[in-house]
Amino acid sequence: MVCLVSRTGRHSQRYNKGRRLVVGCIPYRYKTCTTKGTKNDELEVLVISSQKGQGMLFPKGGWETDESVEEAASRETLEEAGVLGNVEVYHLSIKFDGELGEWSFKSKSGGIYHEGRMFALLVTQELNLWPEQNSRQRLWMNVDKAREVCQHWWMKEALDILVDRLTSPRQHKKE
């Protein structure tokens, strides 16, 4: 069963040296396309609209004390984008850690620093109803378009890492 209400408040929010810890995912899938009679699998990523502006981004939010980092990333992706999937990525029978990296960035609203961690999420289910469906739009797009519309530099870096891992997985094998 999926919860249709987003968590609110920051009473359980994690901090590190005064910096709010946020986590998120880059939801992705493969779309089969036929070009000139040849079938190809095109990588698509899911971006969502910002609640506070016109920009697009990947789902992310606060990491709370009662959840693991992977649980928080999955929850935020469900709440904001309405998709479920696997945080840990398997590609061509090679396993690698789904975490794409950690970044320090300044929040637009409060002018304070956050620590952000992003994960890859291979989408297994797209829901028709989700907690923030009335306040966000979600759009599947190719990587180049997503890089163009994403408003955060650190999320663009995470996207580049994801694309690199998916196109050359043997270089990123987790031992």
Mean pLDDT of 8-26: 82
Of the two residues 6 and 151, the one the predictor is more confident about is: 151
Residue pair 91/82 in contact (Cβ under 8 Å)? The answer is no
Which tens digit of pLDDT belongs to each residue from 44-67? 999 999 987 678 999 999 999 999
Report domain extents, the chain. Answer: 15-169
What pLDDT was estimated at residue 154?
87
Which tens digit of pLDDT belongs to each residue from 18-38? 888 899 999 999 988 767 777
Of the two residues 117 and 39, the one the predictor is more confident about is: 117
Q: What is the pTM of this model?
A: 0.80
* Per-chain mean pLDDT for the chain: 82
What CATH class is the domain 15-169? alpha beta
